[in-house]
Amino acid sequence: MVPSARYRVDHQLSRGSIETWSGLDETLHRPVTIRIADLDTEAGQRLRLQARALARLEHPGLLHVLDTSSDDERFAVITEALPPSHLGEELHARGHLRAGEALDIVVEVGDALAALHRAGFAHGGVAPSSIGRRENQRFVILDGPPTSDAVVIPATPNGDLRSLAILLHVLVIGHPPLVSPGGHHDLHPAIPAVLAPLLSRALDDGDPWPDTTAFVLALRDALPHVPTEDDEDDSAASGSFLRAERAWFAPVGVLLIIAAVILTVGIIVARTPAGQSIIDNAKEVVGFDTTTTLPATSPSTIVPPRTTAPSAELAIIDITDFDPSGDDRTEHPERLNLINDGDPDAGWYTERYTTREFGNLKDGVGLIIALGPPQQLDRLELGSPTLGWSVEIYIADESAGNVIDWGEPVARARDVRGAADFEFDEATAATVLVWITDLGDELSTGGHRATITDVTVQGRPLFG
């Protein structure tokens, strides 16, 4: 597997043009991560060239390259072992991070990106799932140069800088900034005032930062002025949204006091003979049917307010492959970045199976779409060239490891001839499971495989 007898290959962590494996350095008896690519591919050649160019690059925010190895067909990069979890998992569990904590992370990651840029390379765009936490609690970028190919090609330093700003917004709020039809990024009002102009400049092409180093220095200077833990509400993930709306609390409180006074006076008047006479006369004037019984309402019943915002495209925080019955529980994760990339001929697809029923090996595979905080869902659109495929849609506030734990599907479609659209009524969720149950017609090259090229979710945020 590896063109060197020194390293033992254990478990495959991801597939694609560059495979990632866990392994062991049998000389030093230490765990390692091994990236392997075929030299007859473009990705393999890029990996070989950049590994040589970056062999001496050392930064605590980048994985340490320990060794390289090659033969006539394959090239391998050996690095330190990957951390056991990534920031995306932590963010999913917590909903959002404190502003100061998030800023510390982004400064660390930004320093690493700046070092990479100074060496003449770009990452392609950082996200919570591409950041791991070491045992010493420092953060490290898990993918991209110097240990693998760029996440997005072409990768640019300016693109990395913008992704860094979006990352900070995601960590503090739980989702990226909304994008207006004109392409303007609208920051959430819960973003601390000291950070808002820095992020706006990073996301605005009209006055960009000169480089990542300048942006990181500005973020570091802002760190002492970010609200401390004592200033922030840690009771729930929605706390930041409540803080953003606290300006409404004062007038609402006044109205509640006035309403209570009116109610008290009304009760007192209604209990007097004169007051009851006035009420009876008023009923006759307005034609009120005294035999009509109004439905009782429990004082503990709270009816949640319906959002009146127009339906719009919701931001998708993350898309992950879902294969609970597979040996490695993955289904082409390396192709997830091809969803919504603007190319209708490319996308994520399943493995190729001998039958449309997954070769009788499993009930289905799918995608989990993370939306950040719970949203009101109106519509889901799936772009696909596959003919005859079938799909079920599940929703939940938290993703589950098995389909049965998602409950009942809220929508399904059979024998779909290409794209599939679903409309929802009174549905709210933070995650959506697209569960493919039938792979469709046989491919011209043989076998069965379903492809999804685009995913669009429309709805309305419940907060903010």
Model pLDDT for residues 110-147, shown as the tens digit of each residue? 999 999 999 999 999 999 999 999 888 899 999 988 88
SS3 275: helix
More confidently predicted of 399 and 442? 442
> What pLDDT does 259 receive?
58
For residues 199 and 277, membership in a common domain is answered with no
Report the CATH number at residue 352. Answer: 2.60.120.260
Instruction: Report the domain count for the chain.
Output: 4
Mean pLDDT over 342-357 rounds to 87
- DSSP string across 420-431: EEEEEEEEEEEE
d(CA 112, CA 117): 9
- Please state, rounded to an integer, the average pLDDT across all residues of the chain: 82
For residues 103 and 218, membership in a common domain is answered with yes
Most confident of 93-107, 301-315, 328-342, 396-410: 93-107
For residues 232 and 266, membership in a common domain is answered with no
For residues 236 and 95, membership in a common domain is answered with yes
Task: Give the percent of the chain with pLDDT over 90.
Answer: 49
For residues 168 and 227, membership in a common domain is answered with yes
> What pLDDT does 366 receive?
94
Mean pLDDT over 61-86 rounds to 90
> What pLDDT does 305 receive?
44
For residues 132 and 186, membership in a common domain is answered with yes
Residue 292 lies in a domain: no
Instruction: Identify whether the C-beta of residue 8 lies closer than 8 Å to the C-beta of residue 24.
Output: yes
pLDDT tens string 9-65: 999 988 888 999 999 999 999 999 999 999 998 888 888 888 888 877 889 999 988
Give which of 72, 71, 104, 70 is closest to 87, Cα–Cα: 104
Give the pLDDT band of residue 230 (cuts 50, 70, 90): low
pLDDT at residue 260 greater than cutoff 80: no
Give which of 118, 171, 145, 169 is closest to 52, Cα–Cα: 145
For residues 330 and 430, membership in a common domain is answered with yes
For residues 74 and 95, membership in a common domain is answered with no
Give the pLDDT band of residue 247 (cuts 50, 70, 90): very low
Residue 214 lies in a domain: yes
> What pLDDT does 54 receive?
83
Residue 374 lies in a domain: yes
Residue 388 lies in a domain: yes
pLDDT tens string 167-220: 999 999 999 998 877 778 899 999 999 999 999 999 987 788 999 999 999 999
With b meaning 16 or more CB within 10 Å and e meaning fewer, what string describes 242-272? eebeeeeeeeeeeeeeeeeeeeeeeeeeeee
For residues 274 and 370, membership in a common domain is answered with no
Range of the domain at 14: 7-80
Residue 302 lies in a domain: no
pLDDT tens string 266-313: 555 555 555 555 445 544 544 444 443 333 333 333 334 444 568 889
Instruction: Identify whether the C-beta of residue 32 lies closer than 8 Å to the C-beta of residue 25.
Output: yes
Phi, psi of 79 (to 5 degrees): -125, 175
For residues 451 and 317, membership in a common domain is answered with yes
Residue 328 lies in a domain: yes
For residues 66 and 141, membership in a common domain is answered with no
Report the CATH number at residue 37. Answer: 3.30.200.20
> What pLDDT does 234 receive?
47
User: Residue 289 to residues 108, 267, 276, 279: CA-CA distances in angstroms?
Assistant: 70, 21, 16, 13
Query: Strand 7-14 and strand 454-461: pairing?
Result: unpaired
Give the pLDDT band of residue 258 (cuts 50, 70, 90): low
For residues 200 and 216, membership in a common domain is answered with yes
